[in-house]
Structure 1
């Protein structure tokens, strides 16, 4: 298709400029606010317009869905905000009280409160069930441009033209924190999903991260993202990426930790007013004054540094592997050859090769310097399999696992045409990783990690694949999937990350019993947050981590199943 770019989906055409947008938390609807005051509602299953909400007398400046997707909150230049029934399109309440345009709106994550920000220098908090005003946050001294609730909903952050972030208690309406001056107007802000960081976008096109605690708000990494003012900023659902939109007509996707540019979306031909991630992070929706909404596949699924640290390879659901210069952030080769979303990438120990694997089970070997495809191999796998590739430590052999728990070793010299198993087990696995010495491999599973000792290099070629009985140690105690594992490059230690919210560090220790046996000891653990309770029975609990939920069930402290 002429002019199409990788990752781009069909666009939605409006008759007016699109000044804001939002996606419902259930993923079923996309709302588009227009400069004429109307709101278009699209069905995301068919991408067709199914409703039009009418009532505002000025440009729609901001939109926010309720957590249950049943209400839509809109702000407008007509000095009002409105709460709509998202199913019928009827107006539940008109929120009146501001003396100037309402530039930003937000729904509390609890659904029990909404906020509106205005050029009249105030932020107002409202009850969405009655439409009644709850608090007027009047500590701001200039027009308020952006607002964002913390993930728990107990605080709300605001920013304006005085270069400052202010944080208020949503229960009392009192100010609790204020940042130092940034030296630049902050035009938009958002919390990360864990509540520990705030990302801001500025008049000069800069993105900045702020480290947030209950008592401090400290500036962190800052980088130049756009050439013109940033209009909107948002974190991906998993917190790995930051998407930003700008008056420079672009949308950019950046790594939330390093600030490294991951992708640039450039098909808009006028100011981009808003950017939003879909609830599952699979696509981005953008709104523009060019009268279009555009949809982009957003998923960067895997990244890997070259051994020298100069290059970064990224795999994406757009079926490509891209190489980036870590010094400048400049894009290099785009490696095209996969027919499905790329799930994992890895550099060889000498940096010469990149291995990648996609959802369809195709392993591809690329020459990193030229981006040339050197070999590929298709594996017959389940469509739901998680595919992982890695280079075996200390050699140039590619290994792969395809969700079945078995690890295959591929022969590069034979163009990936031959393989042998180095591990066969009866448990499905999510990830695996080799120690830097090449002697150990760890595999992750639904509730445990397994540790295996590999044959020595001189025995490797003749060795039979490891079997279940060869497992050296099983690390248990997880209450959810162990999603990843990584070895310390200088010590016999590894870290695990689990869906329950925990990160744990482990050390492999020789038992010194003369039999070569080892044990695995926990070094430290972070999260999930502890829960303390005594003599209590809790009903209809929300917001518990999986491990706390499990503890309550085991202790008989729940009158009914705790809610997610």
Structure 2
């Protein structure tokens, strides 16, 4: 397994003596005890994306969300033309057009086993699709206002097939059993629209923990089994736009890793997902929650340990639109309307670097599976790929004709998908 070694803040690239001399320009005492910190790195390397291999047209309005399936074989996109499209990545051609929504599709979310896809948006209805056939399996009705986010229960804590959580501008979060198409619980105690929902894999005894946040500036922690509220996290002074867990990546990918695998049935997938989750939590030193807000700040929490945040991070000059942890939990990045992407330490929340290069608001981020690269998309119609190790721009990716709203990096690391106002999906590869 490869490691990276660090002396105080700087990475040891050549040898220990050279790094030691750098510390205080040779004024260091040789009697000191030095702390060398090492981090495990991913065994595989994702190659940086350099070119656009296909432009997928078909949507007749802006592309608002894109998501790769956990096994990296398919791509789903939701658009302002009220359709969801499923694309086959082997041929890079459209496979199914899922019609059923009456208005903009704002969210698409794959179930962790890759068999179903949930989509929702402005028409207040959540639709569940079969990934293989593109058929509509269920229409979940209940929300009174547009749906803002959707998230599946982690595979390893689900009793049968994972449940689905959706948040809405009607200030509620609903938990659905998609196999029978019913709303199991409505979580109500937010006083304003709920903009984000995340489902954690901790506390398997109650089927995980649900985190919700929105415009009432409070993060709430829920028990999905009985719908009770476990905790409230206060700190932000304005709307909360985004939440991220340092285990998001492993929860989303379920049993699948960067190597192709075959699973016989759901229990086998659950077992694999459980093992991967345990490894991920051990690697990143416990589960942490991150929130980003309109008050220009970020908060890092250990919600099941304490109500007070680990740290409050300032530095952005405008609202923070999205935050994302790297797959190994060592870093997290924040995208803001101040045109910068900032990199922070995943355990302490310490500021590391600001990536500057975009000339418009930065909308979204996606990490590569080996945590060495980060891609960001912006209002300036470009995507940019950043090298985390060298803290530099790796690749500038122009090609879109207008603002780019959505981006995702496939779990096998081979492709990046971007979509935006020019109604085209672009696939980028090495």
TM range (shorter): 0.5 to 0.7
Question: Could you tell me which residue of structure 2 aligns to residue 145 of structure 1?
Answer: 195
Count of residues paired in the alignment: 291
Q: Any gaps of 5 or more consecutive residues in structure 2? A: 1-47, 156-160, 248-280, 356-373, 383-399
Q: Does the C-alpha gap of structure 1 residues 269 and 216 become closer, same or farther in structure 2, counting only changes over 3 Å?
A: farther
Alpha carbons 2:316, 2:336 under 8 Å: kept: no
> Please, which of 227, 237, 242 is the counterpart of residue 173 of structure 1?
227
d(CA) in 2 for partners of 1:293, 1:253? 26
Q: CA deviation at 1:212?
A: 3.1
Cα distance in 2, alignment partners of residues 241 and 295 from structure 1? 25
Aligned pairs for 1:277-356 (under 5 A) are 277-281=409-413, 284-294=416-426
**SS of the counterpart of 1:218?**
coil
The answer on whether the counterparts of 1:105 and 1:116 sit within 8 Å (CA) in structure 2 is: yes
Match of 2:126? 81
Whole-Å Cα distance in 2 between the matches of residues 66 and 108 of structure 1?
8
Shift of 1:223: 4.1
Superposition deviation, residue 22 in structure 1: 1.5
Alignment deviations for residues 82-136 of structure 1 (CA, whole Å, 9 cap, x no partner): 1111111111110101111111111111252101111111000011211111111
Distance 1:226 1:72, change over 3 A: farther
**Partners of 2:236 and 2:316 in 1: CA distance:** 16
* Aligned counterpart, 2:293: 202
**1:75 to partner: Cα distance:** 1.1
**Structure ranking higher on relative contact order (CA contacts 8 Å, 6+ apart):** 2
> Once superposed, what is the RMSD of the aligned Cα atoms?
2.9
1:93 to 115, 125, 138: 138
Indicate the SS of the match to 1:88.
coil
**How has the CA–CA distance of structure 1 residues 78 and 265 changed in structure 2, closer, same or farther, with 3 Å as cutoff?**
closer
Aligned to 1:550: none
How far apart, in 1, do the equivalents of 2:107 and 2:323 lie?
13
Equivalent residue number for residue 102 of structure 1: 147
Higher helix proportion (structure 1 or 2): 2
Deviations 1:359-404 (A, max 9, x none): xxxxxxxxxxxxxxxxxxxxxxxxxxxxxxxxxxxxxxxxxxxxxx
> 2-side partners of 1:281 and 1:239: how far apart?
17
Distance 1:208 1:139, change over 3 A: same
8 A contact 1:207–1:224 mirrored in 2: no
Counterpart for residue 53 of structure 1 = 98
In structure 2, the residue matched to 1:240 is 330
Map Cα deviations across residues 322-361 of structure 1 (whole Å, 9 max, x no partner). xxxxxxxxxxxxxxxxxxxxxxxxxxxxxxxxxxxxxxxx
Distance 1:181 1:217 in 2: 8
Instruction: Give 1:273 deviation, angstroms.
Output: 3.7
- Of the three residues 172, 175, 181, the one matched with 1:131 is 181
Q: How far is the alpha carbon of 1:294 from its aligned partner?
A: 4.6
CA contact (8 A) 2:236 2:295 kept: no
Unaligned runs of 5+ in 1: 1-5, 298-317, 319-564
Rounded Cα–Cα distance in structure 2 between residues aligned with 1:169 and 1:271: 39
TM-score, normalised relative to structure 1:
0.47
Query: With structure 2 as the length reference, what TM-score do the two structures score?
Result: 0.61
Change (3 A) 1:164 1:225: same
Aligned to 1:16: 61
Larger Rg: 1
The 1:206–1:118 alpha-carbon spacing in structure 2 relative to 1, beyond 3 Å, is: same
**Aligned ranges for residues 402-481 of structure 1 at < 5 Å?**
none
1:63 counterpart residue number: 108
| Structure 2 match to 1:192 | 246
